[in-house]
Amino acid sequence: MSIRFVDEAQLHVLAGNGGDGCVSFRREKYVPRGGPDGGDGGRGGHVILFADPHKQTLLDFKGIPIHKAESGRQGSGKNMSGRGGSDLIIKLPVGTSVFDSEDSSLVVDLTEDGQQFIAAEGGAGGRGNQGFATSTHQAPREFTPGEAGQERYFNLELKLIADVGMLGLPNAGKSTFLSRVSSAHPKIADYPFTTLRPQLGIVELDPFRRIVVADIPGIIEGASKGVGLGIAFLRHLERTRVMVHLLDPYDRDLDGLIEDHRVICAEVQAHSEELASRRMVTALNKIDLLSPERARELQEGLQERLDVPVALLSGVTGAGLKELLERLWIVLQEEDHGG
């Protein structure tokens, strides 16, 4: 069964109200004038956001109008405080950014497994009449009601957390690459836009080295203006440290590949200048479709025109994959150490 991927949602939360304080007096057989013994009300439950590594989508928050925490109970006699309301734990995918709906300010970024944040505080419990007793006011009937819990509105935005992000035009072979180097099973076919939602794959170079790779739908020219699918998912690359741009040589000459590279870089730049400044590794994919001589000729031409190293690989045969992954590991280490 496939899971519908949803990366934007709204969240309306209401913390629990505090319980009212109690007005009560001791009523015992041999105590004719018992003093006040009304207890305080219990605290209302908080609404707590929890980063759950087992959650992958914001689908659970589509169509649910409000999430309410339990209210506190009223205090009672014999100085008994009311029970506090249970906190409501809302589980969100790791990588969820929470924004205030009113001013769009970032409230919290849930980027670590198990991270918690109180999104709405429960109301304080009211005071019972025993709390108002003094030497000159020994039979108070005052009490205070519980405070209302906070009510808040949020916009949720999910951004996948990965070390490496895959970029390319539709059908550049990103899904094949991801399926070859990891245990992910993205849809693969010979037509554009087979990737309709972001995919994550974990690459095990050896027992001590691991790379998390994110694949998004292919980007086409005009994506920054709403054309195609990829621009809607570029936010999922914002947390990556390195990007891999796969070029597809099928039916393309050197000038065509240069233009493909320009299109991708321009659309990333239009989305975010900060994202465009990240380290990018360029690779010519699908070399199984070329003769060795033609692959080398295109590689040398790209390196000269783009002034960047260009790797050769085939997601189908596996040629060049190990070398590219080792290179990515070195680049990631350089990024970790400020290189």
Is residue 254 within 8 Å of 302, Cβ to Cβ?
yes
**pLDDT of 3-31, one tens digit each?**
455 778 899 999 999 999 999 988 776 66
10 Å Cβ neighbour count for 234?
23
**Across all residues in the chain, what is the average pLDDT?**
85
Residue whose structure tokens are 């990737």: 195
**pLDDT of 96-137, one tens digit each?**
999 999 999 999 999 999 999 999 999 999 999 998 988 888
Q: Which residues of 30-63 are buried (b: 16+ CB within 10 A; e: fewer)?
A: eeeeeebbbbbbbbbbbbbbbbbeebbbbeebee
**pLDDT of 43-59, one tens digit each?**
999 999 999 988 877 88
3-state secondary structure 83-152: CCCCCEEEEEECCEEEEECCCCCEEEEECCCCCEEEEECCCCCCCCHHHHCCCCCCCCCCCCCCCCCCEE
> Is residue 197 over pLDDT 90?
no
User: 41: which 2 tokens?
Assistant: 């009300």
CATH of the domain spanning 1-158, picked from 3.40.50.2300, 2.20.28.120, 2.120.10.30, 2.70.210.12: 2.70.210.12
> Is residue 265 over pLDDT 60?
yes
- Burial class of residue 115 in the structure, from the number of CB atoms within 10 Å of its CB (0-12 exposed, 13-18 middle, 19+ buried): middle
Q: How many residues does the chain have?
A: 339
> Which is more confident, 229 or 302?
302
Q: Which of 27-31, 62-66, 215-219, 229-233 has the highest mean pLDDT?
A: 62-66
**pLDDT of 61-84, one tens digit each?**
877 779 999 999 999 988 899 999
> Is residue 216 over pLDDT 90?
no
First to last CA, the chain: 43
pLDDT value of position 307: 95
> Is residue 317 over pLDDT 80?
yes
* Domain map (residue ranges) of the chain: 1-158, 164-336
Work out the pLDDT band at 233, boundaries 50, 70, 90: low
Percent of the chain with pLDDT over 70: 86
What architecture is domain 164-336?
3-Layer(aba) Sandwich (3.40)
